[in-house]
Amino acid sequence: MTAAAASAGMRRWSRDRLGRAAMFLAGGGLMALGQAPWGLWPVTLAVLVALFWQGLGPQRLWPAFRQGWVLGLGYFLVSLHWIVEPFLVDLPRHGWMAPFALVLMTGGLALFWGAAFAAARWLAPRGSAAAALVLTLTLAEVLRSFVFTGFPWALIGHVWIDTGAGQAAALVGAHGLTLMTLAVAAVTGRALRRRAWLILPLPGLALAALWLWLAPGPPAAPDPDAPVIRIVQPNVPQAEKWSYETLFDHIRLTIDLSRPDPSGPRPAIVLWPETAIPWLLDEAPDLFETAIDATGGVPLILGVQRREGSRFFNSLALIGADAQVEAVYDKVHLVPFGEFVPFGEVMARFGIHGLAASEGGGFTRGADASGTLMSLPGIGPALPLICYEGIFAPIVNRAAGRPRVLLLVTNDAWFGNLSGPYQHLVQGRLRAIEQGVPMVRAANTGISAMIDGRGRVLADLPLNTHGAIDTALPPVLPPTIYARWGDLPVGAVLFLLGLWALSARWRARP
């Protein structure tokens, strides 16, 4: 072979590899359109069907890893592009970090998908690896929900939350939805590949049957005796939240929005969002007296920061009718690099202070009391959740008893105006479906909402508006299968699939 021919061959190989990478990057981006706020789940399913139709090919582990990583990179770049928004709040100071945060976050999460593709190729070195990829990609989504404190955001199964099929979360949870999605795509894709026309419609028919069987009807009329909750949404821009020039105006607005409607029913509770006031809990007794006077003696729940010595906590407090603090919940699952610096305690031992939460440079994790219920007057037991905690199904599932309501306060001003707040909302809806328990959600800039036990939004305040709504608390449903068993059934299925895959690999050894 001449040097010219070899060079031409190398150029063709490079073009083919770049073209394939571009195809997978675009395919991952299209897959993400099934997530909120777009909700184009047929696009997600079509991309997955095409993936299983073409298979992994006769590839070695590294090319398979690269293929999965590029697909995941495209997926997370689109679904998590809002991750740059917190760095844009103080643009001169933090704006330069936004592209680095996006690349590191999406590239890091894509590693899980790359590992899933390589593992599927290892389990099926000579076959299509379709069944193995269903197993490994589901496991990758499970692992990224736990590793490094976890980030179960934009899971593949989340594309069904707005559909009747999303009600299957009451049976199998979010990871079960992911397994279901991949299984439907795999059977369809391989049936197309093999032209098995009799098998081809079966996955779609099964999905449609599940959809029709589980789809909820219209919500029932509100119970006139149900407790009413007043949800306050002050809509304070993040750039103004700690500004001395505007904070008193925002506090006055929040208090005014807390006044009950004289023509409506008396609320049982008034709910403010996360970090609703710019003062620490022990510095605000006069404010609580003013607020309780405005509510007419109705108890108040708000997100607030508090301090114990040099430690700071992101907390939720119940203020009683006498303006006294009756109960406090400290956030347990903190946001890495947002609310604390990982390994900060270790760094402090080497003289690097001011980073660890115990040094006052971040929040301290609350005592391991996630799942502890808070008794609300006129309502009953509630499970308190602060912002990020609402995306973790295990936190909700290990509640110490059956709550009457899931109580979530958040400040989604950090998430911008595009996809972040909507994705956070649908994950709250998913938690309600999984448990069969209504959720009341107060968000600083929106979207505040009352969600019933089937995940339907009964009342809401739109994004970037200030206001308040009085809404009756819907009934709690009987405990769901997921509430009883959690992820154990899906874990058992994945374990059996893993045994089958390992035995198939053993049998395929030369």
Rounded Cα gap, residues 153 and 136, in angstroms:
18
Query: CB neighbours of 209 closer than 8 A, spacing ≥ 6?
Result: none
Q: What is the number of domains present in the chain?
A: 3
Q: Identify the domain containing residue 354 by its residue range.
A: 337-364
331 part of the active site: yes
For 100, the token pair is 């680095």
pLDDT at 176 over 90: yes
Mean pLDDT over 29-34 rounds to 96
Query: CB neighbours of 83 closer than 8 A, spacing ≥ 6?
Result: 101, 102, 105, 106, 420
pLDDT at 357 over 50: no
Q: Which of 306-320, 351-365, 477-491 has the highest mean pLDDT?
A: 477-491
Task: Single out the catalytic residue among 274, 339, 389, 434.
Answer: 274
pLDDT at 72 over 60: yes
pLDDT at 358 over 70: no
Task: Single out the catalytic residue among 85, 141, 241, 331.
Answer: 331
Residue 291, Ramachandran bin (φ over 0: left; ψ between -120 and 50: alpha; else beta): alpha
Predicted TM-score of the model (pTM): 0.90
Quick check: is 394 in a domain? Answer: yes
Quick check: is 223 in a domain? Answer: no
First and final CA of the chain: distance in angstroms?
34
Residues 437-475: b if buried by 16+ CB within 10 A, e if exposed: bbbbbbbbbbbbbbbbbbbbbbbbbebeebebbbbbbbe
Quick check: is 112 in a domain? Answer: yes
pLDDT at 15 over 70: no
CA distances from 471 to 77, 265, 465 (A): 37, 10, 18
- Going by pLDDT thresholds of 50, 70 and 90, the confidence category of residue 353 is very low
- Phi and psi torsions of 429, nearest 5°: -65, -40
387 part of the active site: yes
Same domain, 377 and 460: yes
Same domain, 352 and 373: no
pLDDT tens string 226-268: 999 999 999 988 777 777 778 888 889 999 999 988 888 999 9
Quick check: is 313 in a domain? Answer: yes
Task: Single out the catalytic residue among 141, 241, 339, 387.
Answer: 387
Q: Give the per-residue pLDDT at 4.
A: 56
Same domain, 150 and 275: no
Same domain, 179 and 304: no
Same domain, 326 and 179: no
Domain CATH code at residue 458: 3.60.110.10
β partners of residue 318:
301, 327
Quick check: is 246 in a domain? Answer: yes
Same domain, 159 and 55: yes
241 part of the active site: no
- Phi and psi torsions of 383, nearest 5°: -95, 110
Quick check: is 222 in a domain? Answer: no
In whole numbers, what is the pLDDT of the chain averaged over residues? Answer: 86
3-state secondary structure 166-204: HHHHHHHHHHHHHHHHHHHHHHHHHHHHHCCCCCCHHHH
